[in-house]
Amino acid sequence: MALVTTKKMFEMAYKNGYAIGAFNVNNMEITQGIVKAVAETKSPLILQISRGARSYASMSYLKAIIDVAVEENPDIPIVMHLDHGDTFETCKQCVDDGFTSVMIDGSHHDFEDNIKLTKQVVEYAHDHGVVVEAELGQLGGIEEDVVGLSHDEVMDHLTDPDQAVEFIERTGVDSLAIACGTSHGAYKFKVAPTLAFDVIENIAAKVPNYPLVMHGSSSVPKEFKDLINKYGGDMPDAMGVPEEALTKASKLAVCKINIDTDLRMALTAKIRQVYAETPAEFDPRKYLGPGREAIYEMVKHKLDVLGCAGKAAECL
């Protein structure tokens, strides 16, 4: 089947209490590891492409890789989503390039400018059959070009539920990424965070059946952190969002949960391990292969955490 939008996915996720995993891709091995996991578990999938990914791999290569994944897995609904588009021009280009979902991130603008920019993207995207995600509130941490608040400030800049209602009504946006205490990157927190589930619940009460999105939701798995550090890395204070918090959010109004850092850590951990244990190795297949397998195992686990494993058929 062809690429799909998130419309049916979010409808079923909201109704049945789970979230769709949205995984960032930068190359073939990452994509293959993710797709192998969703194909085996029969799960719906959102593949995200950031500005950094487009710069690194070029859109034509990434699109071709995703097209193969779609062709080889006709029973798996797959969305190609722009992650953190920052201008109307970027979103327009991605709509024109065949994306089925785009994110316009105007969260760094004031409220009125965010509405104006988001509405402009929504009007163009909807005219072309593409859905739109926006963001309201501010997250912490750093991910590529996205620089958020310091970790100590995160809980002071949560999404205001009343503003969320107004934002949704005035823009017509299809889903909304909210600030509820999560943070971008690997160095999210010094102690396990307590997310603001009351923000999620309040927005859900005010806008029933509306899909919310959580960014900055990687868990920074200890097994990968330990491997990276064992073989020369330096991630002593890396801590992410506990998986039980992801499961709880997925049973509320959160229909999409973004995961990027965990993918990077899985790949890096296995590459470092191969380099350390077999330093004479120079065949990329011998270190990228184990990295791809680690991504597959990690994503397969995440699909259970989010509750979307086995839900592909109902999202078609």
Active-site residue set: 83
Q: Taking CA 246 as the corner, what is the angle to CA 245 and CA 250, rounded to the nearest 5 degrees?
A: 115
The secondary structure of 74-116 as a DSSP string is TTS-EEEEEEEE-SHHHHHHHHHTT-SEEEE--TTS-HHHHHH
Report residue 313 as tokens.
């058929």
- The closest alpha carbon to 49, from 19, 10, 107, 93, belongs to 93
- The closest alpha carbon to 266, from 242, 240, 243, 298, belongs to 298
Contact between 213 and 204 under an 8 Å Cβ cutoff? The reply is no
d(CA 281, CA 3): 38
In which element (H, E) is residue 314 found? none
Strand partners, 81: 48, 101
Strand partners, 214: 257
- The closest alpha carbon to 16, from 227, 211, 228, 290, belongs to 211
Q: What is the 3-state secondary structure (H, E, C) of 219-247?
A: CCCHHHHHHHHHCCCCCCCCECCCHHHHH
d(CA 57, CA 55): 6
Report residue 243 as tokens.
């998986």
